[in-house]
Amino acid sequence: MAEINYLQLTLDLVPWIVAYVLITLSLNLEYGYTGIPNFGKVLAVAAGAFFAGSLSGLMLYYILGLNTKYDFYDNHIAVMDEINRALRNDAWLSIGTLIAMLIIATLAGALFGFIGSYPAIRLREDYLGMTLLAMGEILVIFGYTYERFVGATLGIFIPSFLGFIPLENTPYVRLAIYTGIGLAIYLIVRKFVNSPLGRVLRAIRDNESLASSLGKDIVSYRKKLMIYAGAIAGLAGGLLILQAGAVIASSYTRYAYTFLPWIMIIVGGTANNLGATLGAVVFVVSNRLIDTYKAELQGFLPFSVVWLTPIILSIILILMLMFRPQGLIPEKETKTLSEKEILEILNKHNKKK
């Protein structure tokens, strides 16, 4: 077995880990904290990838005046060659369009989160899950069949936003970008769920009728939450295409961007951001290691090695549901005030009167 190059493995895995951490955090907000069974997670992820990939290229296509020479889709290779040449010579244009691409991805995810929120505020559980699952396929099918969006079956390249950086330094810059974005989103989500708003979401998840009787607008909270979660998933879609360098609609499957994130939060622990993060890290790393070395295991397996990864993931999921359904890191109990603390607050309030 070949020796593992840990530095190269880290540089290769961190972008995928960060993207999946963002997807699992967004799904954890919807299901773990609010009880929305979003089986159409691929919708927001694909929206971020498709719109960011298409619009960022088209934006530079018009900024550089290439529309007078080429058709963006019919002459795609020539267009991207000229765009990348311009980006290599203009660092500020590269940085600006990279930021614009990530903003587009975030806004596209938020938009489709808003679209997905309409059935979420009217349907419950099984019907909602089926509806969101169907919605998750619509955009992917559109991208796969309509050429003048993301290139249909062939896909499209995205601009080389980091082309101005020396080639040997590019992986380290990419590592810093992904790590910084991932850490920032994790801290934002952590602050969000630990706020009074996070406690309202848990109350809606546990007992909608009780939360409604206390004056909480269930419809409004669900709608806003799905927009927020969709924005995070859309940003993950933008990070995925930045790593891949292209947008290929057929790669955005419900297995990769709906079912795998569900497995990650179930194994890691729902309503626990650290658990969702741990689930994403464990599955991305183990999946990559299995894919790298599974050919060497073929001689020891009674079945084709191509089925090794889904079989292992299925076994892990079944064992977790049987023996530790709360996940590796269970949800923390919400701390309430003790009787002594409540009395102290009442005494202070009475003294002010």
Q: What is the tens place of the pLDDT at every residue in 117-143?
A: 887 667 766 777 788 888 888 889 999
pLDDT tens profile 98-108: 999 999 999 99
Work out the percent of the chain whose per-residue pLDDT is above 70: 95
Which pair of structure tokens corresponds to residue 72? Answer: 């963006």
At 247, is the secondary structure helix, strand, or coil?
strand
pLDDT confidence of residue 48 = 96
Helix, strand or coil for residue 156? strand
The per-residue pLDDT for 20 is 96
Residue 121's φ and ψ, nearest 5 degrees, are: -90, -5
Q: What is the pLDDT of residue 353?
A: 61
- Give CA 19 to chain center in angstroms: 5
How high is the mean pLDDT of the chain?
88
Mean pLDDT of 77-104: 95
Cα gap 57→124, rounded to integer Å: 39
Residue 1 scores a pLDDT above 70: no
Predicted confidence at residue 104, as pLDDT, reads 97
Output the pLDDT for position 53.
Answer: 94
Alpha-carbon distance of 84 to 97, in angstroms, equals: 12
Long-range contacts, 63-66 (Cβ 8 Å, 24+): 63/93
Q: How many residues does the chain have?
A: 353
Most trustworthy range by pLDDT among 41-55, 208-222, 325-339: 41-55
List of residues 6+ apart from 285 with CB closer than 8 A: 13, 17
Alpha-carbon distance 201 to 187, whole Å?
18
Q: How confident is the model at residue 4 (pLDDT cuts 50, 70, 90)?
A: low
The whole-angstrom separation of Cα 85 and Cα 261 is: 37
What's the rounded mean pLDDT across residues 8-24?
92
Residue among 140, 106, 135 nearest 118 (CA): 135
Give the per-residue pLDDT at 274. Answer: 93
> Taking 80 as the threshold, does the pLDDT of residue 3 lie above it?
no
Asked if 280 and 226 count as a contact pair (C-beta separation under 8 A), the reply is no
Axis-axis angle for helices 260-268, 273-293 (nearest 10):
120
Q: Is 35 left (phi over 0), alpha (psi -120 to 50) or beta?
A: left
DSSP symbols for 209-234: HHHHHTT--HHHHHHHHHHHHHHHHH
User: What is the per-residue pLDDT for 93?
Assistant: 95
Highest mean pLDDT among 87-96, 296-305, 327-336: 87-96
Q: Could you give the dihedral angle defined by the CA atoms of residues 47, 50, 52 and 56, in that order, rounded to the nearest 10 degrees? A: -160
- Dmax (CA) for the chain in angstroms is 81
Nearest alpha-carbon partner for 222 in 137, 119, 109: 119
Paired residues of 156 in beta bridges = 247
- What does the pLDDT read at residue 257? 94
Q: Whole-model pTM?
A: 0.90
**pLDDT class of 51 with cuts at 50, 70, 90:** very high
Is a pLDDT exceeding 70 seen at residue 34?
A: yes
Higher pLDDT among residues 174 and 304, named by residue: 174
Structure tokens at 3: 């020796």
| pLDDT higher at 9 or 258 | 258
Instruction: State the Cα–Cα distance between residues 167 and 13, nearest whole angstrom.
Output: 18
- How many beta carbons lie within 10 A of that of residue 326, not counting itself? 14
User: Is the CB of residue 273 less than 8 Å from the CB of residue 193?
Assistant: yes
Amino acid at 258: T
Place of tokens 């990769």: 256
Answer whether 265's CB lies under 8 Å from 275's CB: yes
In the chain, what is the straight-line distance between the N-terminal and C-terminal CA atoms, in Å? Answer: 76
The one-character DSSP state at 157 is E
- The closest alpha carbon to 280, from 258, 260, 264, belongs to 264
